[in-house]
Structure 1
Amino acid sequence: MKPLLKIMLILFCFFASTFFALKVSGLLSIDEIKAWLNAASQLNAYLVAFTVIGLLFLDLFIAVPTLTLILLAGYFLGAFVGGISAIIGMLLAGTAGYAISYKYGNKLFDKLVTNPAERADAIALFQKRGPVVILLSRATPILPEISACMAGMTKMSFKHFISYWLISTLPYALIAAYAGSISTVENPKPAIYTALGLTGFFWSCWWVFNKRAVKAKPV
């Protein structure tokens, strides 16, 4: 368990450092993203969609406010186009994270976990718990990127990874985009309630999963 947590913690620190760096620098703030999307909407709806896709793909490398961005996509593009744009962006980010880690992640794995037996245990543990981690990764920022990288690093089959990723991503993106589409500056309640509801739902699922995992442990 410790080797797996060690790797996930290092990945978390990497993604978190990009978030704090952007926060301090003021780049990619929510207000700035709103301004970009507003400017793009004055020119062409396709430009808004490409901006949303690009920012969500960029989330693999630097942490961006994913849920807020999807809500804004729904607001500017409507529920369907906003949702599809969000799905494409998150699908690209997840696939790229998996592919990069699949090809190069073993080098990091070998350096951090030098014992072959511990490496095998860490891989086996993620193969067992990884599907749930991917499915519930939208509970918190950064965890989706970590789960995609861990799936590639531990050589989870792409078919299984992409299935879990889509199951997690599709409803999340469509619900958030719809909430954004029916929200206005005067009435932002649908977006606020949806953000709270989605976060609460995934955290509740995590709580249930952890409780069952503890009960399943041998005494």
Structure 2
Amino acid sequence: MRPLLKIMAALTFVFLTIFLIGQLFGILTVDRVRGVLEAAQQVDPVYIFGAIVILLLLDILLSVPTLATTLLAGFFLGFPIGAAAVFTGLTFAMLTGYTLSRKYGHRAISILIKDETERALMAEAFARSGPAMIMLARAAPMVPEVTACMAGVTRMPLPRYLIFYALGTIPYVGIAAYAGSVSSLDNPQPAIFTALGLYALLWTGWFIYQRVEKRKKPSNPLP
């Protein structure tokens, strides 16, 4: 498990650094995302769909505020079109991370983990724990990107990754986009309560998952 945690920590550090740089320079804040969508609406409402897809495609590099963008997609496009735009953009982003990691990630892995046996143990650990991580990844920023890259690096079959990705992402996107569609500037409560509820549900899932994993560990593990 340690090799897996080591790689995931390294990936998290990379995405966190990018996120902090983006926040420092105000590259893709919630206000900027809203400004982009308002500008697209003034040109042609059809462009909003494309703008959302492009913004969320950048999520693999710039840590776009996903939940806020999903709520705004529902607000501007309604449901289910807003949900479709978000799911399309997120899927493109995750596939980009998966593909690049599958093709080039082994080079970085060989630098961080030089022992071939440890690399095999890392892949085995992710094959065992990865599905739950992928489904619950929306509980925190950067975790979806990390799990997509891990799936690529460990060569998890793409159909298998997509199944668990869809199981975790479709309900998240659908609920958030619908909440955005029934919210307004004068009545933002549906969006606010939905955001809080989604995070509470996902964190509860993480808590249960961690408890189950601890129970699976032997009482006297070998050193």
- Kindly indicate whether residue 21 of structure 2 is the aligned counterpart of residue 16 of structure 1: no
Q: 2:205 corresponds to which residue?
A: 205
- Kindly indicate whether residue 164 of structure 2 is the aligned counterpart of residue 161 of structure 1: no
Question: Is the contact made by 2:28 and 2:62 (CA closer than 8 Å) also made in structure 1?
Answer: no
Residues 167-205 of structure 1 show CA distances to partners (whole Å, capped at 9, x for unaligned) of: 111111111100000000011000001100111101000
So what's the TM-score if we normalise by structure 1? 0.98
Q: 1:62 corresponds to which residue?
A: 62
Q: 1:43 corresponds to which residue?
A: 43
RMSD of the alignment, in Å?
0.8
Letter in 2 for 1:123: A
Letter in 2 for 1:185: L
Runs (4+) of structure 1 exceeding 3 A deviation are: none
- Post-superposition offset of 1:135: 0.4
CA distance in 1, matches of 2:112, 2:191: 41
**After the TM superposition, which residues 86-101 of structure 1 pair with which residues of structure 2 at under 5 Å, given as runs?**
86-101=86-101
User: Aligned pairs, how many?
Assistant: 219
- Kindly indicate whether residue 176 of structure 2 is the aligned counterpart of residue 179 of structure 1: no
Letter in 1 for 2:180: G
CA distance in 2, matches of 1:66, 1:84: 14
So what's the TM-score if we normalise by structure 2? 0.96
Question: Is the contact made by 2:55 and 2:64 (CA closer than 8 Å) also made in structure 1?
Answer: yes
CA distance in 2, matches of 1:124, 1:27: 37
Q: 1:215 corresponds to which residue?
A: 215
CA distance in 1, matches of 2:203, 2:50: 31
- State the secondary structure of the residue aligned to 2:62: coil
CA distance in 2, matches of 1:45, 1:132: 37
CA distance in 1, matches of 2:100, 2:113: 19
Q: Percent identity?
A: 40
Structure 1 stretches lacking a partner, 5+ long: none
- Post-superposition offset of 1:42: 1.6
- Post-superposition offset of 1:5: 1.0
- Post-superposition offset of 1:45: 1.9
Residues 75-128 of structure 1 show CA distances to partners (whole Å, capped at 9, x for unaligned) of: 000011100000100110111111111111111111111111111111100000
- Post-superposition offset of 1:39: 1.4
